[in-house]
């Protein structure tokens, strides 16, 4: 398990320009386009300066996208190359497989998320109101999307299917998740639909931890995130244990 975890970390560290630098450039562009341009027209959102308001959402995006991509691409590549057999015959149970792949993906997601936060300080200054709450949402968000990445890799049989979840699930939920605006400003029925979007609670929980403001209770948001984590873990463990699309 430790060997698998170390391999997963080394895998993305070999190409830092693609795995780390590229997301940071995208984040800087988000700040320039959404922050600097729009903040001249939208002064405050939920009592916060607009540039400060979008920071937790951008940190969350960095974590979610990179954690998902790392675990999904890594496991899927072992499937199409046939090297997944090496993992299946090794003395690794479903829990140990999950720990190795998910651990590596979480490291990548958290590295990108924290570096995104560091970039944000150049635009907004540093702010951390509730360190424990922020750590909880940072770590558990990276965990959830790492698990979902594994689940997508097990299900997928083609490269196009790996992109299905980010394109048709994560992207719409992101833009309805209150990253660049308050979900309370959405017109009906989208303001009601947003209540069923778990990303809203992840972003708002992180916003409370970083900025001390949230439209939802951090306790309620944290409970929803924990429930999603438990459900995703149970499903992924069951799928790996059954050998679904993993064994010939």
Tens of pLDDT, residues 81-113: 888 888 878 888 889 999 999 999 999 999 999
Determine the Cα–Cα distance for residues 26 and 116; give it in Å rounded to an integer.
10
Percentage with pLDDT > 90 across the chain: 42
Q: Is the peptide bond before 189 cis (omega within 30 degrees of 0)?
A: yes
**Section 15-23 average pLDDT:** 79
Predicted local distance difference test score (pLDDT) of residue 42: 65
Determine the Cα–Cα distance for residues 34 and 39; give it in Å rounded to an integer.
7
Residue pLDDT, tens place only, 163-191: 888 888 888 888 888 888 888 888 878 77
Determine the Cα–Cα distance for residues 238 and 94; give it in Å rounded to an integer.
8
Determine the Cα–Cα distance for residues 24 and 19; give it in Å rounded to an integer.
9
What does the block give as tokens for 25?
A: 């450039």
What does the block give as tokens for 143?
A: 């965990």
**Section 206-228 average pLDDT:** 94
Question: Could you tell me which of 180, 210, 216, 185 has the C-alpha nearest to residue 198?
Answer: 216
> According to the per-residue pLDDT averaged within each range, which of 20-24, 136-140, 164-168, 239-243 is highest?
136-140
**Section 124-152 average pLDDT:** 94
Mean pLDDT of the chain, nearest integer? 87
Give the count of beta carbons closer than 10 Å to the beta carbon of residue 169: 12
Q: Phi and psi of 44, rounded to 5°?
A: -135, 155
Predicted local distance difference test score (pLDDT) of residue 41: 67
In angstroms, the first-to-last Cα distance of the chain is 23
Burial 50-68 (b: 16+ CB within 10 A, else e): bbbbbbbbbbbbbbbbbbb
- Beta carbons of 150 and 165 less than 8 angstroms apart: no
pLDDT exceeds 60 at position 208 = yes
What is the band of 35 on the pLDDT scale with cuts at 50, 70, 90? low
Where would I find the H helices in the chain? 2-13, 16, 22-30, 38-39, 50-53, 55-81, 84-89, 94-124, 131-155, 159-162, 164-165, 171-175, 190-193, 198-211, 218-242
What is the band of 36 on the pLDDT scale with cuts at 50, 70, 90? low
Domain residue spans in the chain?
2-242
What's the distance, CA 80 to chain centroid? 25
- Beta carbons of 68 and 149 less than 8 angstroms apart: yes
Predicted local distance difference test score (pLDDT) of residue 140: 96
């Amino acid at each position: 398990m430790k060997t698998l975890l170390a391999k997963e970390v080394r895998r993305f560290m070999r190409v830092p320009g693609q795995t780390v630098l590229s997301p940071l450039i995208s984040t800087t562009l988000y700040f320039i386009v959404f922050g600097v341009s729009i903040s001249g027209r939208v002064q405050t959102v939920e009592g916060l300066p607009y540039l400060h308001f979008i920071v937790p959402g951008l940190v969350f995006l960095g974590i979610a996208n990179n954690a998902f991509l790392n675990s999904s691409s890594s496991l899927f590549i072992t499937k199409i190359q046939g090297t997944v057999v090496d993992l299946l015959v090794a003395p690794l149970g479903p829990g140990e497989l999950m720990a190795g792949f998910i651990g590596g993906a979480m490291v990548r997601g958290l590295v990108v998320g924290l570096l995104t936060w560091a970039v944000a300080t150049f635009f907004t200054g540093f702010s951390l109101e509730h360190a424990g709450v922020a750590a909880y949402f940072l770590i558990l968000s990276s965990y959830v999307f790492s698990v979902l990445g594994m689940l997508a890799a097990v299900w997928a049989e083609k490269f196009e299917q790996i992109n299905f979840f980010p394109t048709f699930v994560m992207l719409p939920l992101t833009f309805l998740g209150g990253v660049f605006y308050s979900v309370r400003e959405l017109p009906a029925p989208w303001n009601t639909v947003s209540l069923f979007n778990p990303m809203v609670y992840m972003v708002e929980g992180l916003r409370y931890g970083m900025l001390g403001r949230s439209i939802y209770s951090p306790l309620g948001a944290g409970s929803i995130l924990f429930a999603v984590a438990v459900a995703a873990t149970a499903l992924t463990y069951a799928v790996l244990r059954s050998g679904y699309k993993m064994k010939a």
